Chain A
């Protein structure tokens, strides 16, 4: 059902990141193809947000490589990621409260009329964009400070789409949203996929993940802990990978001793693990 090109649009190979004494990411691999939604899941502190920040240039990586459409690239600053075509919606939204909605949408990529800001073109495009996303905000000319939490979230998502990016990263986009807005955001994610964008979706909400994602990449304690196809993976298997239920004394013993014994559902996930985890 999904047409996935051979070369991933974005691939991480053995990415590591340290913050002082904390090894936030160890040897993480990730591949995203155009027209694909990859959910990135993991417990708090698993390194999801750090991984996103390395891709978007907020924190440069210490080791490993970022490969963009088959060629290695260096992402040291947010501008580098933007120039490649990576747009990120951060968990803390990163909006400027004092600027109005239009200014926030086009911040960093303002439309210009010669050397002068083209406010009219920006306002017009902002309205079109917000109408498309069925986003209801009082006015595009009020400061973001005056918006509610849900309204800010949709403004932040709309902002990611202004530059027509190839890869869109959504960090917990539905955490602060109501029922209707959540559905709208999920619709939006599907629409992005149909347009050939690659989407990385970070979420704690398994219902959202199973609703829109094609594959689920699990992080645990800063390492890969399996990549699953959503279509043929159960909810419990993913939860098990997140919490590490597959990796404890009991399962390790079972893996050693039981050959041909009663393979449990949990044991079944082992075959899908990446190579690092098999070591």
Chain B
């Protein structure tokens, strides 16, 4: 944390008011959302968000903020400007993470308790489909062409490929223990699945002939850190398809992976128990939620350096940045 504090001045110098966006951080323990201004990295406000807010997302027009209130068994929808709660969406029990259709019309929600993925229409507030998946569904991603929704199940250790036209599972890929998060490259050619307990990221070709194929697994190693603490969780890939950022949980680091070679090129020290990651719309900055130090770290994406940390609510979990 000392290094980060010393870098604060640099972070402020780099910030430019021209690209101000609101950053929303869900605080799992604090039951709040912290709102940060990405131009100044100042906290604007903190507002209540129901019980145990975790997964968080925003509509493509930037108007509606969606928050999984896990212990309320619902997704709460807030006005992204006024922070007023507008309505709730039926989510099934204990929603944790969701992915959104690029046009904002549907949420695909993982229900850990019921081994289901629930599809919810954001306009009519109704459940469109419930898809039985593996044990403890968690990670969710949608392919850029919207053909497939990916769900990872933590005890089944699979990535399920759900066809978005008929909601049937078309493919399954076995990965390492406790898959937590899935992310596609923006061009849809690559899919990454992080395995928290397995300590690896599976690299999958989703479009291989004869169905999706596991290409390789990325491992992690940091001198002086016990291997069991290298637990990959949240991930983001840059739009140019060059860099994959992987949050390593209790290792307090974000790994930077060269997508071309699947090699880790750098480990960036951030706050404690780093969980989820979110880019600013211009992808100049990556925000990390640090659950055990109650702050977020701002990473300069080009420099691959932590530039600032910002204190937020109790046990930050998820993060999303408003679109331009």
Q: Decide whether A and B assemble into one complex.
A: no
